[in-house]
Amino acid sequence: MSKQLVLMDHDGGVDDYLATMLLLTMDHVELLGIVVTPADCYVQPAVSATRKILDLMGFSHIPVAESTVRGINPFPYLYRRDSFIVDHLPILNQSETINTPLVAEPGQDFMVKVLREAIAPVTLMVTGPLTNIAVALDQAPDIEAKIQKIVWMGGALNVPGNIEKNWEPGQDGSAEWNVYWDAVSAARVWKSQIEIIMCTLDLTNNVPLTSELVQKMGRQRNYPISDLAGQCYALVIPQDYYCWDVLATAYLGHPEFYQLREWETEIITNGMSQGRTKVVAGGRKIYAMDRVDKEAFYNYILQQWAR
Ligand SMILES: [Ca+2]
């Protein structure tokens, strides 16, 4: 059986490295590359940490590309600085050299190239904003036919967003960060015919990162990947943290854990609700992950990271 072709686009948050680590454990997936978007990170340490994770897990043949796209509303620096911390974790710095190649061209150009060269349609696994895809589609409209679907952690349909109002007085609290960073690009992707499967805050709000989960990783820390995953989660445990990107990515491994539901939506690109994914009759059809078997999900990531 041929493998599922996947191109990952992440934005360098703690959660994104964990999602990468989960994707790399999926035997039925052929990962064609990783694009790092400069959103929930500082991009140089985020690219570096990503390449070191690929080295550690034995995937140093997979290329990593740095995107040079720009968003509209920057992520808080307190979130972004985690990229420096992860890049300096001892387990990722056992060697002086990095073997995983850094692509010379910008990530958005690399996305076009990978899609054009792919022998079959590719699933885009996106755990950051949709900016690269919007730029790539404008630059090379022919690639739309090479995208099988987009699986995306983003949006908030029938729950509040996650923008801190005291940091972002221009937002009414309805937006989710990956949309808010660049809502114009999300709206551009909404204009395409590509199938979109979203993991929104409606679902992730029900799947918190728990102390129990991190402690279970500690008890299997003789496995380097569990040790690294536990270290990453320990960094963020003081925050109100949920399994966002990891929950979205686990869909590729076990879609049967999830129930999907179709919605008609639009992306609000300006005013106080900019970045909102609004449910509107007659709007663009998307699928949202509506329910998940939580215990199966938690057990799955623990099992996959036992390596
Ligand atoms: Ca992310």
The DSSP secondary structure of 70-100, one letter per residue, reads: --SSPPPHHHHTHHHHHHT-GGG-SSSS--S
Residue 152 alpha carbon to ligand 1 centre in Å: 10
What is the 250 CA–ligand 1 centroid distance (Å)?
A: 14
> What is the distance in A from the centroid of ligand 1 to the CA of 144?
23
Q: Which CATH number fits the domain that encloses residue 152?
A: 3.90.245.10
Complete DSSP assignment for 3-43: PEEEEEEE---HHHHHHHHHHTT-TTEEEEEEEE-SSSS-H
| d(CA 270, ligand 1 centre) in Å | 22
Kindly give the distance from the C-alpha atom of residue 11 to the centroid of ligand 1, in angstroms, as a whole number: 5
Per DSSP, 102 falls in state B
Residue 264 in tokens: 């008609």
Determine the distance separating the centroid of ligand 1 and the alpha carbon of 53, expressed in angstroms: 16
Along the 307 residues of the chain, how does pLDDT read in single tens digits? 789 999 999 999 999 999 999 999 999 999 999 999 999 999 999 999 999 999 999 999 999 999 999 999 999 999 999 999 999 999 999 999 999 999 999 999 999 999 999 999 999 999 999 999 999 999 999 999 999 999 999 999 999 999 987 888 889 999 999 999 999 999 999 999 999 999 999 999 999 999 999 999 999 999 999 999 999 999 999 999 999 999 999 999 999 999 999 999 999 999 999 999 999 999 999 999 999 999 999 999 999 999 9
Number of domains in the chain: 1
Ligand 1 centroid from CA 154, angstroms: 9
From first CA to last CA, the distance across the chain in angstroms is 25
User: Do 293 and 257 meet the contact criterion of CB atoms below 8 Å apart?
Assistant: yes
Q: What is the dihedral of CA 108, 114, 117, 118, to 10 degrees?
A: -140
Per the CB < 8 A criterion, the answer to whether 263 and 285 are in contact is: yes
Give the helix ranges, DSSP H, for 140-182: 177-180
For β-strands 258-267 and 196-199, DSSP reports them as unpaired
Segment 11-45, tens digit of pLDDT: 999 999 999 999 999 999 999 999 999 999 999 99
**Distance, CA 1 to ligand 1 centroid (Å)?**
31
Give me ligand 1 centre to Cα 8, in Å. 11
- Range(s) of the domain holding residue 133: 4-305
Residue bearing tokens 């808080």: 76
